[in-house]
Structure 1
Amino acid sequence: MLIKEKALRHWVDHFYGYGSWDARFWFVGYEESGGDLPEEVAEKFDYFYDAHASSTEATLCDIRELYKRVAFRGDGPKADLYTNRYEYRFDSNAIQNGVWKNLIAFRHGYRNEALPDLLDYQKNSFASSSAQEALIQLYPLPSPHNHAWYYSWLDMPQFPFLKSRTLYQEQLYEQRINAILQKISAHRPELVLMYGMNNINSLKSSVQAFFPAAKFKMVKAIKLQTPQHHRADLQGTTLLITTQIPALRHGRIETGFDWLEFGKAVRSA
């Protein structure tokens, strides 16, 4: 399946993630996951173009409907249980997402609510249009865990910034962060958690340019409990920025944190 120019352009310009801007909790990742196979990328782009062709601004879409359009191409003993990504993450035999379960725990910790069955919550509620959470991406193009940059291989001279990750990020950063900040100002979510960020100083500068009264406080990490993070109040919205991701790095327990306790700590601070 080929990546189409119009679908790619529409995704880059308008795709910002999943759920609703009216959600009370926004979880902003550094970039969209996936991207190992061009077929998977093309299927995402095509769904979004078909479903949101009339979009003229930053748009969140239905993660369950998009995942139904993306074929499951994994291997392993359970691979034959799934035909698409929806079945893999949301159907009766779904597998728990390691990042999502910690974001769910964080939100419940912040609200001081009892932790639900995490897999059931993922399947039935997480990041739906009526849910408490929205999943938002600072950068739109799906990128694999190994951070390889496959888009330089596309024969699309009309997208010169795709020749390198650096050019791509330089081209899109201002547009993307300003759109997210404008949405924060308009919708006033309760909390915005930006995780896995490697451009902390740029983000803080952008936030303070948009919200001049914002003042950041750096909160140190507590090993295996809460990650180091930067915190600011944006006219009633609590903003947190951290380099950490809500998952173990390389599967090593010493790289992880208790995201339920992190949520509680943020609420009590």
Structure 2
Amino acid sequence: MIDALQAFMSNFAGYGDLRAPLWFVGMEEGGGRDVNELVRRVDAWDVRGRQRLENLAGYHRAIGMSRHFEAPFPLQRTWGPLARVLQASRGASNDISDLRHVQATQLGAHGGGAALLELLPLPAPNTNTWPYSALAKDVPALRDRATYRTTYEPARRAMLRALIQEGCPRAVICYGLGYLESWTALAGAPLRPITVAARACYVGEVSGSMLLAVPHPVAHGGTARFWEAVGSAVAAAPS
């Protein structure tokens, strides 16, 4: 388990396809309520070939978390708005039935239209919860969230920058403005403040791709109009 866990933290970037034109980058994946869930995630990743980018639906079925990929395909709080951005970026329908289809079959899918990546490798229910301190006897950096972040964020940021350079997406959308410092470090240069549908956002460039930092999908004020405007901003960016 420890060998696979360390490989997971160093090499697992998220879900989707490097060829996708649109990438979403979050600070960390939700979930991870206890060590047992992490074990299921790492074991599934190990058995499925330790892929750098997994298939979102297939992986979640493998870990027993398939609710959002089975009828009636309920929209997940984060993935639903991201599906709306993807649809708006290509001028497609944003009907609820279409968003459900996009979430289930295209977000984070191999060959899909959008990759979902994370700056930090381990899932957590929120930033105030750290369920992995029991693993610190084998992985000392996991004793607390601050140590974990200091240890892993720089290398993970370099990995993401290399993947962006390799995949050359049209746009990289980083969500969660509480981590603006991290998104600025990913870009390697100051981001310029802009307004999108009356909300503060930031824009710059990373490895030749547009970088747009936006509020987290679950943050207050994230209307359908806002997420569609984010998609329109991506569509208007030079290719």
Answer yes or no: same fold by TM over 0.5: yes
Larger gyration radius, structure 1 or structure 2: 1
Determine if the alignment matches structure 1 residue 237 to structure 2 residue 209: yes
1:93 to 65, 72, 82: 72
* Residues 197 and 52 (structure 1), Cα distance of their counterparts in 2 relative to 1, 3 Å cut: farther
Q: Which residue of 1 aligns with 2:63?
A: 70
- Give CA-to-partner distance per residue, 1:66-85, whole Å, 9 cap, x none: 212223xxxxxxxxxxxxx1
For the 8 Å contact 1:215–1:233, the answer to whether it is kept is no
User: In the TM superposition, what whole-angstrom CA distance separates every residue of 1:41-97 from its partner, at most 9, and x where no partner exists?
Assistant: 2111101112224x6xxx1112222212223xxxxxxxxxxxxx12x0111233211
Q: Is the 8 A contact 1:102 1:259 kept in 2?
A: yes
For 1:188-231, what per-residue CA distance to the aligned partner results, in whole angstroms no more than 9, with x for missing partners? 101100101433234324422xxxxx66311146xxx4532211
Match status 1:114 vs 2:70: no
Secondary structure of the residue aligned to 1:28 is strand
| Structure 2 match to 1:219 | 194
2:94 is paired with a residue of what secondary structure?
coil
Distance 1:206 1:63, change over 3 A: closer
How far apart in 1 are the matches of 2:233 and 2:62? 39
Alignment of 1:183 onto 2:179: no
Distance 1:170 1:42, change over 3 A: same
* Consecutive unaligned residues in structure 2, runs of 5 or more: none
The aligned length equals 233
| 2:118 match: secondary structure | strand
Three-state SS of the structure 1 residue aligned to 2:79 is helix
Compared CA separation, residues 37 and 141, structure 1 to 2 (3 A): same
- CA drift at 1:262: 2.5
What TM-score, normalized to structure 2?
A: 0.88
For 2:128 and 2:166, the matched residues in 1 are separated by: 33
Is 1:262 matched up with 2:230? yes
Amino acid at match of 2:222: G
Distance in structure 1 (CA, Å) of the matches to 2:199 and 2:153? 25
Give SS of 2:178's match: coil
Of 115, 119, 126, the residue aligned with 1:134 is: 115
Are residue 102 (structure 1) and residue 81 (structure 2) matched? yes
* Alpha-carbon spacing, 1:125–1:49, altered in 2? closer, same or farther (3 Å): same
SS of alignment partner, residue 5 of structure 2:
helix
Higher relative contact order (CA 8 A, sep 6+): 2
Q: 1:121 to 1:207 in 2, by over 3 A?
A: closer
8 A contact 2:68–2:104 mirrored in 1 = yes
Look up the equivalent residue of 1:23 and give its one-letter code: A
Deviation at 1:268, TM superposition (A): 4.2
5+ long unaligned stretches in structure 1: 72-84, 209-213, 250-254
Q: Which amino acid aligns with 1:189?
A: P
Residue 124 of structure 1, CA deviation:
2.6
CA contact (8 A) 2:57 2:104 kept: no
Following superposition, the deviation at residue 177 of structure 1 comes to 0.7
One-letter amino acid matched to 2:218: A
**CA–CA separation in structure 2 for the residues paired with 1:114 and 1:66:** 27
In the aligned structure 1, how far is the partner of 2:198 from the partner of 2:46?
A: 39
Q: What corresponds to 2:152 in structure 1?
A: 172
Measured in 2, the distance between the counterparts of 1:226 and 1:259 equals 12
Asked whether the 8 Å contact 1:10–1:49 carries over to 2, the reply is no
* Identity value in percent: 25
2:183 aligned with 1:203? yes
Q: 1 CA distance for matches of 2:182 and 2:19?
A: 26
TM-score, normalised to structure 1, is 0.79
